[in-house]
Amino acid sequence: MARLFRLWEKKRGDRRTGSRLLGGLGEVLFAGSLFLLGVALLTNTIASRVHGEVGYGFGFWVLALVSISLTILGGTGFVLGVLQVGASRERRSALAKRAQKMDLLHEAPRQRDQFPTVPHDASLTNSPGTTLAFRLPTTNYSAVRLAASTIFSLLWNAIAVVLLALAANRWLAGHPDWVLTASALIFVTVGAGAVTYFIRQMLVHTGIGPTHVEISALPLYPGQSYDVFVYQAGRLEVTRLTLALVCEEEATFHQGTDVRTERQPIAEYVIFSRDDFRIEPGAAFEHQCQLQIPESAMHSFQSTHNAVSWKLVVRLDAVSWPPCERSFPVVVHPLASVVPSA
């Protein structure tokens, strides 16, 4: 019986005996420690210069350079590590191997000259799937929110620590600065809220797990059928998982001096839905089904002020987690753009 926790991890071929999640968290903690060490050194260097203990000599600039380097390296590693926690290394390896086998010289011809207002699928066909031909990119903004909250928390709390250290030095020296103290307290309060928001986004990102959607061919054509593969990871007790094809209309217009963009779904077709099942740790939900593009479907369209877009949407409702929705764009071409087979 395998142990749940191992202090040391031994590699066995392509497998490892330890937990990938614990390894990723270890990398995040190490990078965070480097960041905190850099901030502490930078704070001490600035405080020493303010109190006149050191001048602008060689030692000061060496300490400043080292502390800034540790801060940047630690912060960058922390952000990248957070985004990689919970990702599947096996799937990334499979994608890399599959990509080596693709012949990009035999891509379907583009229709830029014939249909200039139809979006092109170059960004959709550059990632091979592990089961079907293409893995679709996601327009899910949870990772963006996580990255933004991580960067904001690091930078804001670094400033808060510096201000707090400077204010404390003033109090210890017997010359309290009330403006500096108030500013430090405000920064610390906002920083605590930023850390709380970051932890919440981190739990959602690692708890729900990644969602992948693969498709057998691109672009899509009205009246045609395609295979779709859905992969959902995470330790979840799912109440409902739904895959739908959604058509959305977008309009960009001026309202006074502001430029606004509004989106409105105009059609939705449920491809499959499953209720009440559980995704066990170390496993994943996988399902392959068929997608039928309606014969009356409007093709994808893009202009300066208007757009018609299609996407595959995965909606997930799980116990103890907020509802999650992740979108994967696709391109529907006009029937006239179908290239006759030889």
How many independent structural domains does the chain possess?
2
Task: Tell me, yes or no, whether 42 and 133 share the same domain.
Answer: no
Residues near 161 by beta carbon (within 8 Å), at least 6 away in sequence: 39, 40, 43
Q: Please check whether residue 204 lies inside any domain of the structure.
A: no
Q: Are residues 118 and 45 in the same domain?
A: no
Both 24 and 122 in one domain: the answer is no
Report the CATH number at residue 275.
Answer: 2.60.40.640
Q: In what order do the strands lie in the sheet with 134-135?
A: 134-135, 211-215, 225-233, 284-292
Residues 313, 265 share a domain: yes
Which residues partner with 249 through β-bridges?
Answer: 264, 308
Q: Provide the residue type at 134 as one letter.
A: F
Whole-number pLDDT of residue 60: 62
Same domain membership, residue 132 and residue 34: no
CB atoms within 10 A of CB 258: 7
User: What is the structure's pLDDT at 9?
Assistant: 47
pLDDT at residue number 83: 61
Residue 148, both tokens: 């933004």
Q: Give, for all 342 residues of the chain, the pLDDT tens digit.
A: 444 444 444 444 445 555 555 666 677 677 777 777 777 777 766 666 665 655 566 566 666 677 777 777 777 777 667 666 555 444 444 444 444 444 433 444 445 556 788 888 777 888 888 899 999 988 756 667 777 777 788 778 877 887 787 788 778 878 888 888 888 898 889 889 988 888 877 777 767 888 999 999 998 999 999 999 999 988 889 999 999 999 999 988 887 777 888 889 999 999 999 999 999 877 889 999 999 999 989 999 988 889 999 999 999 999 988 888 899 999 999 876 554 443
Domain that holds residue 76: 18-85
Asked if 52 and 127 sit in the same domain, the reply is no
- Rounded to whole angstroms, how far apart are CA atoms 35 and 209? 26
The answer to whether residue 3 sits within a structural domain is: no
E-assigned strands of the chain? 11-12, 15-16, 134-135, 211-215, 225-233, 236-255, 258-279, 284-292, 301-302, 306-318, 324-330
